[in-house]
């Protein structure tokens, strides 16, 4: 009996050895199997990062307060000017009125009215905006009077200052409603 067990064990072992095939050499793995997926993952990460940046910028843009209303700002400044009018001379009054008017023009029509001289502004405005002749004359008269008062210490009568104030207020009221266009100013 012991012989039988040994023989059957030997047969099984020999069968297993015969079933074994020779070992295959290792497969050569190309470097691109590592570089390719790494590049793919990096590109996906870059696209994700760019999307995140764009979304974040869009959210920030939505969170920003609306742009200031130049007409509202001008009316508030004119109200303050009226309150301060009692104790100021007409030269200072006209200068502040001109700054308010220039700031309104700059905010409303997107022209550089506050950083240019009167002649530069009038030249640029005549090229960019088509003012009616009466409006162009009134703007020219007002800004030149303001310059004379500020730089040449020209005395401006109170009646003239009040007339300019009324004109600036009416101009703001007339131009604030419609969207800016070249024909409208």
Q: Are 136 and 126 in contact (CB under 8 A)?
A: yes
- End-to-end CA separation in angstroms for the chain: 120
Residue 164 burial (CB count, 10 A): 21
Q: Domain residues of the chain, as ranges?
A: 33-64, 70-175
Helix axes 133-151, 118-128, angle to 10 degrees: 160
Residue with tokens 């009125």: 97
Which of 130, 133, 136, 131 is closest to 118 using CA atoms?
Answer: 136
Full pLDDT tens readout for the chain, 185 residues: 555 555 556 555 665 666 667 777 777 888 888 898 999 999 999 999 999 999 999 999 888 887 788 999 999 999 999 988 887 888 899 999 999 999 998 888 888 888 888 888 888 777 766 677 788 889 889 999 999 988 888 888 889 989 999 999 999 998 877 655 544 44
What pTM value is reported for the model?
A: 0.62
So what's the pLDDT on residue 116?
Answer: 87
């Amino acid at each position: 009996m012991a012989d039988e067990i040994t023989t059957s064990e030997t047969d099984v072992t020999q069968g297993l050895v015969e079933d074994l095939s020779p070992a295959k050499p290792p497969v050569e793995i190309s470097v691109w199997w590592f570089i390719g997926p790494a590049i793919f993952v990096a590109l996906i990460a870059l696209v994700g990062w760019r999307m995140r940046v764009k979304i974040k910028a869009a959210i920030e843009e939505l969170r920003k307060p609306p742009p200031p209303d130049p007409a509202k700002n001008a009316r508030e400044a004119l109200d303050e000017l009226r309150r301060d009018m009692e104790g100021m001379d007409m030269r200072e009054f006209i200068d502040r009125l001109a700054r308010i008017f220039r700031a309104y023009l700059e905010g409303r029509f997107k022209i550089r009215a506050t950083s240019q001289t009167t002649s530069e502004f009038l030249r640029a405005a005549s090229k960019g905006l088509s003012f009616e002749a009466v409006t162009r004359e009134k703007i020219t008269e007002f800004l030149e009077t303001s310059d004379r008062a500020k730089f040449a210490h020209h005395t401006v009568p109170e009646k003239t200052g009040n007339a300019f104030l009324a004109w600036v207020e009416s101009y703001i009221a007339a131009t604030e409603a419609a969207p800016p266009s070249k024909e409208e100013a």
